[in-house]
Amino acid sequence: MGAGHDAVARELARRLRAGGHEAVHRDVLELLPARVGAGLRGFYRTTIRHVPALYGGIYAAFFRGGAGPRPGSAPFAALAGDRLRAEVAHERADAVVAVFHLAAQLTGGLRARGRLAVPSAVVVTDFAVHRQWLHRGNDLHLCLTPDIAREVRRSLGRPAAACGPLLADRFRPHPAGEASWRRRLTADDGRPPVLLSAGAWGAGSRLGATARLLVGAGYLPVVLCGRNERLRRLLSRVPGTLALSWVDDMPGLLAACAAVVDNAAGQTALEALAVGVPVVGYRPIPGHGAEGVRRMAALGLTDYAGDPWRLVQCLDRLTSAGPGPGRRAPAGRGLVRGDVVGPLERLCS
C-alpha cells in the first residue's frame, strides 16, 4: 500500500545484495488471485482519501486487539499461499521476509501449518504494532526500536530484535540537493519552509486549513501531494503555499525545510529524522496513522500537536534556529541504525 513498504523492500534488498546475497522482491497483493490485490489497494486508497472514518472502523475491528474472537486477515492472506510457495520453490529461496502485515499473516500461517519449509521473518514498519503484524508462525520479527522489539517478544513469545529504520544512505544530514532546494524555498520572502507530508497518495485531513494556519503564523507551507494531482491543484490555490507533486529528491527537500508536519508516522517521518529535521505529528489519518504518530511522540522521537495552537507553538520552538547547521537540536537521536542482514543470515543458518 502506498510507497513506504516498497521503499523498505528496496532498501532491504540492497543491503542483502551488498552482503553477498540474492534478493527477489514480490508484491503480496499481486500473489492474490483474479486481481483481488488491485481491488484491495484501490479500496484502501479510496477509503483513506475520501472516507477516513470508515478506515478507522475497519482498523478498530481488524487490527486492534480485544477480548474474545476478533476478525483477521489470515484467511484472506491464505489465498496467496500456493503462489508464494511456487515462488519460493522456483527461486530456491532460503528465507521469506515480509515487510507488509498481510504478507506477515501469509508467511506465519504457512509456517504454522508446515506448508513453508524455509524460515520466515517480518520487518515491522509501523511504530504502533497492531495484531495483523503478529503471527506466532513467523520465526523472527525485526522492529524499528528496542522498545517495540520487547513488546513483540512479550506478546508472541518469539524472537524479536531491533533493526532500526530501513532507509537509503542518501537520507543523511546535508545531502547533495539541500542547497538547491533552499535557494528555491527561500527565494521570495524568507519565511521558514515547513513540509506537510500527505504520503504517496496525498491523503490527509484539512490540509488546506493547515496550510492557511501556517501562512498566518509566518511559515511557508510546502505540501507534498504525492501522486494526487487533484490535491495539488486545490492546495496551489491557497495563497502563500507551495504544493508539490511527486518529488524524487526527498533528502534535499527535507534538509532544506525547518520542520515536517506528519500525519502517518510512516517513511517520510523517518526520512526527516534521518536527515536531521524535527517532526511534529498533527491531524493523523485514522487507525495506524493516529496510533503511530502518538507512539513516536511517546518514544521522544517527535512532537505531537493536538490542536492548531499547539502546532504553531511546536513549530515556533523547533524552528527557532531555522533550517541548516544551526538547528536547535538533532532530530531522531533516539533512532538506531541496527543490523538487518546479520539476523537474517543467522535465521537461514
pLDDT digits (tens, 9 = 90+) for 204-229: 888 999 999 999 999 999 999 988 89
Q: What is the pLDDT of residue 69?
A: 63
The DSSP annotation for 280-319 comes to: EEESPPTTHHHHHHHHHHHTTSSEEESSHHHHHHHHHHHT
Q: What is the pLDDT of residue 326?
A: 38
pTM: 0.90
The answer to which of 42-46, 126-130, 174-178, 262-266 has the lowest mean pLDDT is 42-46
What is the average per-residue pLDDT within 136-142? 96
Q: What is the pLDDT of residue 67?
A: 63
Predicted confidence (pLDDT) at residue 346 exceeds the cutoff of 90: yes
Predicted confidence (pLDDT) at residue 35 exceeds the cutoff of 90: no
Whether the CB-CB separation of 254 and 276 falls below 8 Å is answered with: no
Using the structure block, give the residue that is written with the C-alpha cell 532500526: 164
Q: What percent of the chain has pLDDT over 70?
A: 93
What is the average per-residue pLDDT within 183-192? 82
Tell how strand 259-262 and strand 279-282 pair up: parallel
The closest alpha carbon to 202, from 181, 238, 239, 230, belongs to 230
Predicted confidence (pLDDT) at residue 187 exceeds the cutoff of 50: yes
pLDDT digits (tens, 9 = 90+) for 40-69: 888 888 888 888 888 888 888 888 876 666
Q: SS3 for 120? A: strand
Q: What is the pLDDT of residue 203?
A: 81
What is the average per-residue pLDDT within 318-335? 55
Q: SS3 for 71? A: coil
Give me the sign of the Cα torsion angle 272, 130, 31, 165: positive
User: Which amino acid is residue 316, in one-letter code?
Assistant: D
pLDDT digits (tens, 9 = 90+) for 79-125: 899 999 999 999 999 999 999 999 999 999 999 999 999 999 999 99
Residue 120 phi, psi (nearest 5): -125, 140
Predicted confidence (pLDDT) at residue 303 exceeds the cutoff of 80: yes
In angstroms, the Cα distances linking 69 to 37, 65, 74, 105, 260 are 26, 10, 13, 17, 40
Q: What is the pLDDT of residue 316?
A: 95
The answer to which of 127-131, 160-164, 253-257, 311-315 has the lowest mean pLDDT is 127-131
Provide the mean pLDDT of the chain. 89
Secondary structure string (H, E, C) spanning 251-267: HHHHHHCCEEEECCCCH
Question: Of all helices (H) and strands (E), which one includes residue 163?
Answer: none
Band (327; pLDDT cuts 50, 70, 90): very low
User: Residue 56: is it exposed, middle or buried by C-beta count within 10 angstroms (0-12/13-18/19+)?
Assistant: middle
Cell of 54: 470508515
The answer to which of 97-111, 186-200, 272-286, 303-317 has the lowest mean pLDDT is 186-200
Strand order in the sheet with 259-262: 242-244, 220-224, 193-197, 259-262, 279-282, 303-305
Q: What percent of the chain has pLDDT over 90?
A: 66
Q: What is the pLDDT of residue 68?
A: 62
